[in-house]
Amino acid sequence: MKILYGVQGTGNGHISRARIMAKRFNELNIDVDFIFSGRPADKFFDMEVFGDYKVFQGMSFCYKDGQVDIIATLKQLQFSQLRADIKSLDLSKYDVVLNDFEPITAWAAKKQNKPSISISHQAAFLQDIPTQGAKWSDRKILKYFAPCEFNLGVHWYHFGANIIPPFIDSAGSLNAVDNKILVYLPFESIQQIKLLLADFCDFEFYCYHPDIEENSDEEHIHLRKLSKTGFKTDLTQCSGIIANAGFELSSEALCFGKRILLKPLTGQFEQASNAYTLEMLGLANVMNRLDFEAVEQWLEQSRAGQVIFPDNPQPLINWILAGDYQNTSALLAELWQQVSFPEPVKRILERDIAA
């Protein structure tokens, strides 16, 4: 089987999910080509596992001070280039297109009648699951941004829908340092982040940000440039994370048993929904702005919940290779049997959601 895999490059979560799949594809000698869009080619890092991948401009959203910047987003959209890329992408040699919210491969597959499967967190929101702040425009974006023939959502719980759990690589050692906090707020300004954390001198904050070009230390605030290896090391060693409410990092933090404080990206219903869901399950605290008191209260807590997710995507790959994309029941059953929730979360799911 020859597979094309399209990945949205705007956030690192899509790429992290694709890395796990790529690693297993490589181990099985399955022929997969990767296409990324939504980020300049020179802004990708640690991409060796994807082999000879290609980068297109695609479509992405612009952000400023923790909010979606609609005007800047519209200004940078180049629809003529997008249409040209979709039209020029020849899918004749591929048997199926896998898609993680990437528009060029999705629309090319639709126009060329090639089987396409959305395996993404966004696909979960096409189904009946808890959401927060979803507008009419959000629904239309979800439906038409990267439309696929088959939709397989990825989420922390299935909610009785066509949803699988995330795959999270094993962390190895989890010797957490009590006063070490990982901070990943890529849509906030570095200056605002430093002001937020300046007075918490009893803690060591390791702050990763796309605008940081060289690592530096400013007393208890450690500024770090983006690095998959460094980030993973600090994630395993920290006792908690402060982050926007992206899906993949929250999933890793849950699997590693870290305390979580989320600041959802303003105007982004997906992040608002993620924060709402984790707060509802008692697995995270939420602040809707950079709030000194919210950080102070959260740092005083010691409570964390660990959720065990699968680390091997083999069942999903077997399902892809089998080609019966209408039938997901056996796949869902096999994967959700591997998920383990803390007892308090189980009670909430049984009482409030499963009912």
Does residue 240 contact residue 260 with C-beta atoms inside 8 Å?
yes
67-68 and 163-164 beta bridge pairing: unpaired
Domain hosting residue 37, numbered range: 2-168+310-353
pLDDT at 170: 76
Residue 331, phi then psi, degrees to nearest 5: -60, -45
Over the stretch 325-349, which tens digit does the pLDDT of each residue have? Answer: 999 999 999 999 999 999 999 999 8
Q: What number is the average pLDDT over the span 185-193?
A: 93
Residue 190 lies in a domain: yes
pLDDT of residue 354 exceeding 60:
no
Query: How many Cβ atoms from other residues are within 10 Å of residue 161's Cβ?
Result: 16
pLDDT at 66: 55
Over the stretch 24-80, which tens digit does the pLDDT of each residue have? Answer: 999 999 999 999 998 888 888 889 999 999 999 877 666 666 556 666 666 667 788
pLDDT at 10: 83
Query: How many Cβ atoms from other residues are within 10 Å of residue 297's Cβ?
Result: 13
Domain count, the chain: 2
Amino acid at residue number 241: I
pLDDT of residue 317 exceeding 60:
yes
CATH number at residue 209: 3.40.50.2000
Are 318 and 338 part of one and the same domain? yes
Are 107 and 216 part of one and the same domain? no
Q: Quick one: which of 72, 40, 42, 78 has its CA closest to 56?
A: 40
Are 74 and 144 part of one and the same domain? yes
Residue 6 lies in a domain: yes
pLDDT of residue 352 exceeding 70:
no
Question: Taking all residues of the chain, what is their mean pLDDT, rounded to a whole number?
Answer: 91
257: left (phi > 0), else alpha (psi -120 to 50), else beta?
left
Strands (DSSP E) found in the chain: 2-8, 31-37, 54-56, 63-64, 67-68, 96-100, 116-120, 150-154, 163-164, 180-184, 204-208, 216-218, 221-224, 240-243, 259-262, 285-286
Residue 26 lies in a domain: yes
Give SS3 for 282: coil
Are 44 and 123 part of one and the same domain? yes
Percentage of the chain with pLDDT > 90? Answer: 75
pLDDT at 204: 98
Residue 57 and residue 40: Cα distance in Å, rounded? Answer: 7
Burial label for 203, CB within 10 Å (0-12, 13-18, 19+), is: middle
Are 111 and 190 part of one and the same domain? no
Are 62 and 111 part of one and the same domain? yes
Over the stretch 194-252, which tens digit does the pLDDT of each residue have? Answer: 999 999 999 999 999 999 999 999 999 999 999 888 999 999 999 999 999 999 999 99
pLDDT of residue 304 exceeding 80:
no
Are 99 and 151 part of one and the same domain? yes
pLDDT at 88: 96
Task: Name every residue whose Cβ is closer than 8 Å to that of residue 90 and which is 6 or more positions away in sequence.
Answer: none
Are 132 and 82 part of one and the same domain? yes
Is the model more confident about 230 or about 137?
Answer: 230
Burial label for 300, CB within 10 Å (0-12, 13-18, 19+), is: exposed
Q: Which two tokens stand for residue 86?
A: 């979709």
Residue 285 and residue 12: Cα distance in Å, rounded? Answer: 22
Amino acid at residue number 233: T
What Cα–Cα distance (Å) separates residue 223 from each residue in 130, 204, 207, 218, 333?
A: 35, 11, 5, 8, 43
